[in-house]
Structure formats: structure tokens, C-alpha cells
Structure 1
């Protein structure tokens, strides 16, 4: 009888831990100033996703994409979900930040993470929750 109870508890825990997992969210925001457009391109490693080259032309305009980790990415270092973006701005897009790793899966399952990158004249900033201030990541590289 005790073995049946233990088995039922294990089964209940298994299904409880596999409940719905909210999508991760990557947000790119243009805060370069009035009349300054931000150009970006983001690609994903696990599914070949590619935003193509896009432009955020207005101040405070944002683009976001949602995704989930692939289950194999939790245990396999080589196949972890990974997204990189190239950001640029200026008359000839001479201010650049290339191959910015905007998301990389961990070894354990995570759900509903936010990764926001904010472009400003002095560089780009990052935050992982809307209720925390942004932190400076790095400046732009001149092309």
C-alpha cells in the first residue's frame, strides 16, 4: 500500500513540474533620440530563426520576440538555445554592436525570462525585469 502511495506522489510531482512554462521575451528598444533610427538583426541558434534587418525609427519604439527553450538545450552545452543580435545606428550605420548574446539557455529549465536591450547614444543598456533600473553594458564600436 505504501508503495502505491509513493508511486502516486511521484506521478503527481512529475505532472505538476511539467506545467505550462511562459515564453521568454527579448525586447530591443530605441532611445537614441528624436530622428535617430536603430537598425537590428537577431538570429537564433536552435531553430534558425532570423528577424532579418529591421529598423526602429521612432524614439522609445520597441520590438520583441517570444520563444521557448528546446528541452535538449538544458542538458546539452552544444545545443543550448542562443540568440545573438547586431545593432547599429548613424547616417551610415557606423555605430555598431555586433554579435551581442541577448539570450543563452541555462542547464536548468527557466520560464518567462525578460531580456531588454535599450540603445542610447552612449551605448546600450540591459535589464532583466521591468521593475529594475537599466545598467550600461558597453559603448558603440565605430565602423
Structure 2
């Protein structure tokens, strides 16, 4: 009988500690205007996944969904878009931002259901953690020729 009670206790602990965790969302939005495709290339750690390059059309967005309940999930991304051709310079130019830490789950905080939104505009990169709050300017583009 004692073994049965211990067995029930262990099963209860296992089911209680594995409650569902809401998915976190990492959003990239393109507000660069007509004919400007935003290119996003992300790498996540814990788990380690290379997501390849995603091309986001003007006025569109892309969402990464993931659960980071036990690991400390981190996403690093490179963002860039091509600038219009300059008649005085035949080399292609682009605005870019490299190694953007787009998402990092906290160590002590609740890792479930977190939200991060990054928005690309000509004036820079904007960010918010809450979809109900306005975006704020946080980073500037670097021009590469």
C-alpha cells in the first residue's frame, strides 16, 4: 500500500509540473514602404535552430511561435533591406542591423507567453513587448555599400 501511495505522489508531481505553457511570439513587421522587402535571418539557441532567411513583403509581417518553458530561449537576427540605386554609384547599397538580440527569455521571470515585436521603418528599428502599447524607436540602421 505504501508503494502505491508513493507511486500516486510521483505521478501527481509529474503531471503538476508539466502544465501547458503558452506560446511566445516573436514578430517582425515591414513598414518600409513600397518596393522595400525586409530580409530577416534568425538563429535561435536553446533549442539551436537556424531559421534561414525570411523575406517580408511591404506591409506584411512574420511571426515565430515557440515555447520556452524550461530553456532560456534566445533569438539573434540579422535584418536588412536594399536601398534604391544611386545613379552616381553602381554598387548596390543596403541598410542593415546585425546580431540583434530579438528575444531572450528571462532566468527568473515567467517564460510562457512572452511577446516581442520588431518593426522596420526607414527611420530605424522600432520595438515593443506589449501589443497594446505603441512602438518605440530603439535602433538605427547602418548603411553598407
Q: Same fold (TM over 0.5)?
A: yes
Q: CA deviation at 1:137?
A: 0.8
**Residues 95 and 142, structure 1, Cα contact 8 Å, conserved in 2:** yes
- Stretches of 4+ moved more than 2 A in 1? none
Normalising by structure 2, report the TM-score: 0.77
The answer for the alignment partner of 2:38 in structure 1 is: 38
| Partner Cα distance (1:49, 1:40) in 2 | 14
Give the number of aligned pairs: 124
Normalising by structure 1, report the TM-score: 0.78
> For residues 79-125 of structure 1, what are the alpha-carbon distances to aligned partners after superposition, in whole Å with 9 as ceiling and x for unaligned?
x3210110001244620111000111211232111100000001110
Cα RMSD, aligned residues only: 2.0
User: SS state of the match for residue 26, structure 1?
Assistant: strand
Distance 1:89 1:129, change over 3 A: same
Which entry has the higher C-alpha Rg, 1 or 2? 2
The answer for the alignment partner of 2:4 in structure 1 is: none
User: SS state of the match for residue 50, structure 2?
Assistant: coil
Q: CA deviation at 1:20?
A: 1.4
The answer for the alignment partner of 1:21 in structure 2 is: 21
In terms of fraction of residues, the more helix-rich structure is: 1
**Residues 21 and 69, structure 2, Cα contact 8 Å, conserved in 1:** no
Name stretches of at least 5 consecutive residues in structure 1 with no aligned partner: 1-7, 74-79
Does residue 81 of structure 1 match 2:73? yes
Name stretches of at least 5 consecutive residues in structure 2 with no aligned partner: 1-8, 84-91
Aligned pairs for 1:44-123 (under 5 A) are 44-58=44-58, 60-69=59-68, 71=70, 73=71, 80-91=72-83, 92=92, 94-108=94-108, 109-123=110-124
Distance 1:93 1:113, change over 3 A: farther
